[in-house]
Amino acid sequence: MGRTIINGEAQEKPLSYKHDINIWYCDEKNKENTVMLKQYIEQNQGNIVGYLLSNETWIKQTMPIDPSLTKELTADEKASVRMDMLQLMRSVKLRRETPSYKYMEITLDSMQISDVMDAAVKLNNVQDKDMLSAVALGRLGLLVAGDIKYNVKIDKATKTVKEIEMDLAEPIRKGAGLFLAIANPREKSEIEDFLTKSTLSMQVTYSKYNQIDPIEIPQDVRDSAKEVKPAGKETPKKSE
């Protein structure tokens, strides 16, 4: 059984995020474990800079970003993005409706998502063997897991998403089952038992659109963070 709660804030200009993350899970011996994380993310010139607090230590990671990800899209480009997103959806169903909200069930096509991952690798001309292997395994696991369903609560007045709920237990069981064939026989039964008893769900709640104060990363976080370099990545652009 696992549960993750993320309380956070986000702003678009300048792009920045603040997250408080609490993770609860039970291991194979049914012992409950708790992990608490804190995170800041900001865009600094041509880089994304992340700060993560784990085990009372701040870790900083700087990664270059493709300028195309942050450029202002034209009307035609926005229409193209919407069309691409629609192609990932196998179905959209209205489950129920109240005077204030619509509750929709959305099913994503895992094969289409897998194809998008493959296209992104080719578009970015990825050469790193570890990255290519990770993407290939991810695509394979995704196809085994099958289509992904989630529920969305939409505010009818503002036309904004208020909540997203997703049951991840069955997709993870199917995806993990792919790798059981190569597991140690003694460990295989333990893993199967753990997967059978495990549940994992995700809920995201959105609120206070355009109502948060500017996100600022405390100076002591910037000063004390230990920087780590992403493996196999190019040197980030110099940031202040």
| pLDDT tens by residue, 154-166 | 999 988 888 988 8
Please indicate whether residue 134 or residue 164 has the higher confidence score (pLDDT). 164
Note whether residue 101 is domain-resident.
Answer: yes
DSSP 3-state helix, strand, coil percentages of the chain (rounded to 5)?
A: 30, 40, 30
* CB neighbours of residue 175 within 10 Å: 21
Q: What does the alpha-carbon distance between residue 143 and residue 146 come to, in Å, rounded to a whole number?
A: 5
The whole-number pLDDT of residue 56 equals: 87
The whole-number pLDDT of residue 193 equals: 74
* CB neighbours of residue 55 within 10 Å: 8
Note whether residue 191 is domain-resident.
Answer: yes
**Does residue 29 carry a pLDDT above 80?**
no
The whole-number pLDDT of residue 67 equals: 62
Note whether residue 181 is domain-resident.
Answer: yes
**Does residue 19 carry a pLDDT above 60?**
yes
Phi-psi region of 17 (alpha: psi -120 to 50; beta: other; left: phi over 0): beta
**Does residue 79 carry a pLDDT above 50?**
yes
Note whether residue 80 is domain-resident.
Answer: yes
pLDDT digits (tens, 9 = 90+) for 215-237: 899 999 999 999 987 654 444 55
**Residues 87-105 as b or e (16 or more Cβ within 10 Å = b):** ebeeeeeeeeeeeebebbe
**How many domains does the structure of the chain reveal?**
1
- At residue 187, what is the residue type? E
40-44, 124-128, 213-217: least confident range: 124-128
HSE at residue 142, side-chain half, CA atoms within 13 A, is 19
User: What residue has token string 């230990």?
Assistant: 226
Domain region containing 173: 2-109+147-228
17-26, 31-40, 116-125: least confident range: 116-125
Segment 170-185 shows an average pLDDT of 70
Please indicate whether residue 208 or residue 239 has the higher confidence score (pLDDT). 208
Note whether residue 200 is domain-resident.
Answer: yes
The whole-number pLDDT of residue 235 equals: 47
The whole-number pLDDT of residue 49 equals: 93
Q: Which of these, 180, 118, 106, lies nearest to 143 by C-alpha position?
A: 118
The whole-number pLDDT of residue 230 equals: 61
Phi-psi region of 55 (alpha: psi -120 to 50; beta: other; left: phi over 0): left
Note whether residue 97 is domain-resident.
Answer: yes
Note whether residue 210 is domain-resident.
Answer: yes
Structure tokens at 29: 């011996």
The whole-number pLDDT of residue 98 equals: 95
Note whether residue 174 is domain-resident.
Answer: yes
